[in-house]
């Protein structure tokens, strides 16, 4: 009787342990992917860098990311996965600019390079079809410099437009001030003429009255 009780207890403990392990696996699987033991399937899900899981289970050894619309990967996304052996990355429109440096560095550290022969650049046109792991640092940095040059050109253009607007505003202020001065001058001249005419009328009226009184 006691042996049956101990056997049942062991079975229950084993069952609870299995359920606990399964719940842990399910909870740790990142959405929208699904997991099977230590393999994470995120392929063919139209994932972008924004919708890609920010982290994977620490025990992950295989990740499927193929057939998505990934153009780059977040820096350090694979760094904490010590058991990681394979990542399927083919059939994604990779953009080989400054943001591809992390993926390039990670690929160059992998021993099984045959697995990554289909991981190629889709843009820019000058690097289209090139294997990412064989890109030189100068080739990647040249796209960064082009981007910085474009940004600098846009900033200079905005600054030039701002200066032109300031000059136009200054000219409008000068024109307004000159018109105001001319109007003020004309107003002063009109006021002076009115005073002169008033004095002349006063003098003539006084002269006429004195002449009439003498008579």
* Dihedral angle of Cα 175, 178, 180, 183, to the nearest 10 degrees: -120
Cβ-contact 90, 99 below 8 angstroms: no
Quick one: tokens of 61? 């050894």
- Domain spans, the chain: 19-135, 138-196
Q: Which residues contact 76 (CB under 8 A, 6 or more apart)?
A: 102
Q: How many CB atoms lie within 10 A of CB 160?
A: 10
To the nearest whole percent, how much of the chain has pLDDT over 70? 73
Given this model, what pLDDT does residue 146 score? 57
Res. 191: pLDDT tops 80: no
More confident position, 194 or 50: 50
Binned at pLDDT 50, 70 and 90, residue 182 comes out as confident
Distance CA 146, CA 163 (A): 26
Cβ-contact 68, 43 below 8 angstroms: yes
Residue 5: what are its φ and ψ, rounded to 5°? -60, -45
CATH architecture designation of domain 19-135: Alpha-Beta Horseshoe (3.80)
Mean pLDDT over residues 85-111, rounded?
Answer: 94
Q: Cite the beta strand spans of the chain per DSSP E.
A: 34-36, 39-41, 62-64, 86-88, 94-95, 121-123
Side-by-side strand order, sheet with 86-88: 34-36, 39-41, 62-64, 86-88
Binned at pLDDT 50, 70 and 90, residue 148 comes out as low
Mean pLDDT over residues 79-103, rounded?
Answer: 94
More confident position, 47 or 113: 47
Res. 188: pLDDT tops 50: yes
| Residue (of 62, 112, 108) closest to 87 by Cα position | 62
Cβ-contact 21, 41 below 8 angstroms: no
Per-residue pLDDT reduced to its tens digit, 116-134: 999 999 999 999 999 999 9
**Comparing 60-64, 67-71, 204-208, which segment has the lowest mean pLDDT?**
204-208
Cβ-contact 131, 140 below 8 angstroms: no
Per-residue pLDDT reduced to its tens digit, 18-29: 444 444 444 589
Given this model, what pLDDT does residue 197 score? 66
| Residue (of 140, 126, 52, 58) closest to 89 by Cα position | 52
Q: State pTM to two decimals.
A: 0.57
């Amino acid at each position: 009787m006691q042996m049956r009780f101990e056997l049942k207890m062991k079975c229950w403990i084993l069952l609870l342990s299995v359920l606990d392990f399964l719940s842990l696996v399910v909870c740790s699987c990142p959405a929208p992917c699904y997991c099977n033991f230590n393999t994470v399937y995120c392929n063919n899900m139209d994932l972008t860098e924004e919708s890609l899981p920010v982290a994977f289970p620490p025990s992950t050894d295989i990740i499927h990311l193929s057939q998505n619309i990934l153009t780059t990967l977040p820096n350090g996304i694979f760094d904490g996965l010590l058991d990681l052996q394979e990542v399927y990355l083919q059939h994604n429109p990779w953009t080989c600019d400054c943001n591809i440096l992390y993926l390039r560095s990670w690929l160059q550290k992998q021993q099984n390079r045959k697995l990554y022969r289909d991981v190629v650049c889709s843009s820019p046109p000058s690097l289209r079809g090139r294997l990412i792991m064989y890109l030189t640092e100068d080739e990647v940095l040249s796209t960064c410099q082009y981007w910085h040059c474009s940004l600098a050109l846009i900033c200079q253009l905005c600054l030039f437009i701002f200066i032109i607007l300031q000059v136009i505003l200054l000219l409008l202020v000068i024109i307004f001030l000159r018109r105001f001065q001319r109007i003020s001058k004309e107003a002063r001249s009109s006021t002076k003429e009115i005073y002169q005419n008033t004095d002349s009328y006063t003098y003539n009226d006084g002269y006429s009255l004195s002449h009439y009184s003498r008579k």
